[in-house]
């Protein structure tokens, strides 16, 4: 949270912190998750990263939804972090076939 830069003459009593409402969000496809512990590992690691304000990972759909401050981090950094945890991650493509729900790759591993 940062303080607004306003001249003192424009502030009658006191200044208030500005809440940054310019967060960006992205959805990622995450491969290699097999259980709830994998989900927890990814979510908790993402939430520790500077600039990430929200992270939700769904095992059933293999998707992660992340809200972040684009001045601090971005999708490439998030993907790299997830890959460093031992999973595969990529930006979600608009896929109406439901192929992201196919777990056959994880089952054969």
Strands (E), the chain: 2-3, 17-18, 24-31, 52-58, 63-68, 88-91
Q: What is the pTM of this model?
A: 0.68
Q: If we measure between CA atoms, which residue out of 48, 50, 53, 58 comes closest to residue 21?
A: 53
Q: Are 58 and 28 in contact (CB under 8 A)?
A: no
In the chain, what are the domains?
24-93 (3.30.70.100)
Cα–Cα dist 109/101, whole Å: 16
Q: Tens-of-pLDDT digits for all 109 residues of the chain?
A: 444 554 555 555 554 445 556 999 999 999 999 999 999 999 999 999 999 999 999 999 999 999 999 999 999 999 999 999 999 999 998 766 665 556 666 566 6
């Amino acid at each position: 949270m940062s303080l607004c830069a306003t001249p003192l003459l424009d502030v009658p009593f006191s200044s208030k912190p500005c809440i940054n409402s310019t967060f960006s969000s992205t959805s990622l496809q995450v491969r290699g998750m097999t259980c709830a512990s994998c989900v927890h590992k990814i979510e908790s690691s993402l939430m520790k990263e500077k600039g990430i304000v929200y992270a939700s990972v769904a095992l059933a759909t293999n998707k992660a939804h992340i809200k972040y401050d684009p001045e601090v981090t971005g999708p490439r950094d998030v993907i790299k972090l997830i890959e460093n945890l031992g999973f595969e991650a990529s930006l979600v493509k608009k896929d109406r076939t439901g192929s992201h729900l196919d777990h056959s790759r994880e089952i054969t591993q």
